[in-house]
Amino acid sequence: MILIMLVYFFRLPQRIPSKNLNNKIIIAPCDGIVKEISTTNNNMLKITIVLSIFDVHVQWYPVHGKIRNIIYKKGQFNLAHCLEKSKYNERLSTIIQNEYGVIRLDQIAGQVARRIVNWSIINTKVQRGNLMGMIKLSSRVDMYLPKHKIKCLVKENDRIKGKLSKIAIWK
């Protein structure tokens, strides 16, 4: 039974995004529920996506561009869906830049998830929809988008599918 659960948990579905997506569309980096949308002090739109145990736990690049930086922050392992406590959790940030702007994706470990995998390499080009990494077991992904450069297409409590759902569009 445990083996079946692990196989289900570590699945990687074949998802083919719509062919009509132009380069300005920002897609969902993962499956989950949009738990919160807020504005940060530096005028970034923060979209918090919480993954349940039943969601696919891999992450995809939401935009094309160049990996500008990867930042690992050691931290605690609080429940990922408890937004106030989980700001102290272990995380790995990937910063991507393209001709429209810069975005940041934070893979955040939860109480059960103690391993973040990320295949990004600084100064390499990536394509929207390519595999970025995985957070093993329970987790959360935060997206930071330049508020004045995008139009948000999701709202709180929306269920999203990685690689398929549209999150935002560059203006």
Active-site positions read: 139
Residue 104 pairs in a beta bridge with: 95, 144
Give the Cα separation of 127 and 122 in Å (integer): 14
Pairing of strands 115-118, 150-152: unpaired
DSSP string of 101-161?
-EEEEEEEE-SS--EEEE---TT-EE-TTSEEEEEESSEEEEEEEEGGGEEE---TT-EE-
Give the Cα separation of 151 and 67 in Å (integer): 22
Two structure tokens written together for 118 = 């990320």
The helix (run of H) or strand (run of E) holding residue 36 is strand 32-39
Angle at 26 between CA 166 and CA 65, to 5 degrees: 155
